[in-house]
Structure 1
C-alpha cells in the first residue's frame, strides 16, 4: 500500500513539473532524431495541448503583475522618482498608457513561438499522452494550480535586469520563475497534493513535462531578450513623451 506521504511527494513533483511549462511554453530545441512514434507533429492533440496550457493561464493577471513590477522599476529610477515627487501619479499614468502596448507585444511573442512549442510537444509525447496532459490543464485541479501561478508570477528580477543592463540572464529568469512556482505549489492544499500524487501514478505522461523545464527557462531568456519592433518602440516613446509633456509643459 502506498502511504499518503508518498502520494503527497508525487503531488509536489507533479505540481512543480506542470507549473512552469504552462506559463512559458518553450520553443523547440535541437535534439537527436526522436523515436518514429513521436514524430506526428501535425496531430491535432499537440495543438490542443498548447491551447489547454494557454487557457489555464490568466494572461490578464500575468500582464497586470508585469505592469506592477514595471511601476516599481520606474519608481526606483532617479529621474522618474523625481518626476513622481513633482507630479504624483505620473508613473501610474505612464504605466497605464504602456499596458496595451505590452499586452500586444506579449501576444506577438507567444504567437511567434507557437509552432515551435507544438513541435516540441510532438517530440515529447504521443498523441494519447498529449491528450492526457491537456485534460489535466482543463481540470479543476489544473486550473487551480495555474491560477495560483498566474497570481504569483512577478518578473521583478527580469525587469530589473532589462532596465539596468538591457539583457536578461538565465539567473534572472530562474529567480522569477522558481519563486512563482514554489509559491503556487504552496497555495495548494494537502488534499490537492495527494490528488495530484494519484494522478502522477495513474498518468506517467504528466511527469514527462519535467523534460521541458530546462528548455522552458532557456527559451524564456530568448523571449525576454526579444527585440521590440520599431512600431512598438515608437509607441512606448510616444506614451512617455505625451504624459511628461502634458504633466510638465503647461
Structure 2
C-alpha cells in the first residue's frame, strides 16, 4: 500500500533530524565566526565527539521520536484527504499503521546515531578550541543544560513541515523545515523553563562557545538533515512488510 509506506518514510526522515544547535535560538543572531583551518589534536577530537553524542543522545532522540509518532504524525494524517479516505474505509487503520511501524523507525534511528555523531564531530573540532569544547560539555551536562535540551526536543514542532511534505507528495524535509521546528522548541523553552535555567542559557549563549555554536547552527542543521534524509532500503522493506500485514488484517476484518 503506497500511502502507508509513505507514512513510514516521511516519519523516519523527520525524527532523524536532531537539531543540535537549536537550543541557542533564543539568543540574538550573530555574524559567522571564522573557523580553524588546521586539524586539531586527538584529545580535542574526542571532546568534539563527546559534544556530538551529548547533544544528540539516545534520550533526546527518543523524546523527539515519541512526540512525532504519538502526536504530530497522527494529527497531520488526520488532516490529509488521502488518509482521511483511508480511515473512512478502514476505521483504525492509520493508528494501527503508526503503532506497528513506530518501533521499527525508532530503533533504526537510534542505531544510525553514530553516523550522525561522526559527521558533526569534525564541525565542532574545527570550530572550537579545546577550552570551548569543555565549556560546551560543562553546560550540556549541567542540570540546567540537560533540562533545556530535553525541553527543546519535546517542543520541536514538525507538524507544518510534515503536512506540506505530505501534500506535495515528497518524502524528504529541508533545513528550512528543521529551522522552523527548532524555533518552536525555542518558544517552548521560553515558555516553560525556570528563570534560573533561562539565566544559565543566556549566560552560555553570551560565552565564546555559545556564540560560535550559534554561528554554525545552519551548518549543523544541514549535516543533520542530510543524514536524516538518506535512504534506508532495509528499513523501507521492513516498513512495507509491516504495513502490508496491517492492511491485510484490516481487509480481512472488513470482509467478516
Give TM-score scaled by structure 1 length: 0.76
- Report how far residue 40 of structure 1 moved: 2.4
Aligned to 1:27: none
Separation of aligned partners in 2, 1:169 and 1:45: 29
Q: What is the CA RMSD across the aligned residues, in angstroms? A: 2.9
Deviation per residue, 1:114-152 (Å, 9 max, x gap): 212111111011222211111111111101211211211
1:129-179 CA distance string (max 9 Å, x none):
211111111111101211211211132133224323314233322222212
* 1:215 aligned partner: 219
1:94 corresponds to 2:101: no
Change (3 A) 1:161 1:105: farther
Q: Is the 8 A contact 1:153 1:177 kept in 2?
A: yes
Compared with structure 1, are the counterparts of its residues 224 and 86 closer, same or farther at alpha carbon in structure 2 (3 Å cutoff)?
Answer: same
Label 1:41 to 1:115 Cα distance change in 2 as closer, same or farther (>3 A). Answer: farther
Residue 64 of structure 1, aligned match among 63, 66, 75 = 66
For 1:74 and 1:181, how far apart are their aligned partners in 2? 25
Tell me which moved more, 73-82 or 141-150: 73-82
Q: Does 1:162 align with 2:191?
A: no
- Provide the residue aligned with 1:174 in structure 2: 179
Report the 3-state secondary structure (helix = DSSP H, G, I; strand = E; otherwise coil) of the residue aligned with 2:56. Answer: helix
Residue 71 of structure 1: how far off its partner (Å):
1.6
Aligned counterpart for 1:119 among listed residues 119, 122, 144: 122
Partner residue in 2 for 1:149 = 152
TM-score by length of 2: 0.74
Contact persistence 1:56–1:137 (CA under 8 A): no
Q: What whole-Å deviation, never above 9, does each CA across 1:179-224 have from its counterpart, x for those lacking one?
A: 22222233223333334444556x5323321122121232343234
2: CA distance between counterparts of 1:243 and 1:18? 35
Find out whether 1:193 has 2:227 as its counterpart.
Answer: no
Gaps of 5+ in 2: 1-18, 25-33
8 Å contact from structure 1 (residues 53, 134) kept in 2: no
For the 8 Å contact 1:45–1:130, the answer to whether it is kept is yes
Contact 1:157 / 1:173 at 8 angstroms: preserved in 2? no
**Structure 1 segments of 4+ aligned residues over 6 angstroms from their partners:** none
Aligned residues: 223
CA distance in 2, matches of 1:193, 1:57: 22
Kept in 2, the 8 Å contact 1:57–1:146? The answer is no
Give, in angstroms, the shift of residue 77 of structure 1: 3.2
CA 165–109 in structure 1, closer or farther in 2 if over 3 Å, else same? farther
Distance 1:84 1:200 in 2: 46
**1:52 match:** 54
Q: Distance in 2 between matches of 1:195 and 1:178?
A: 19
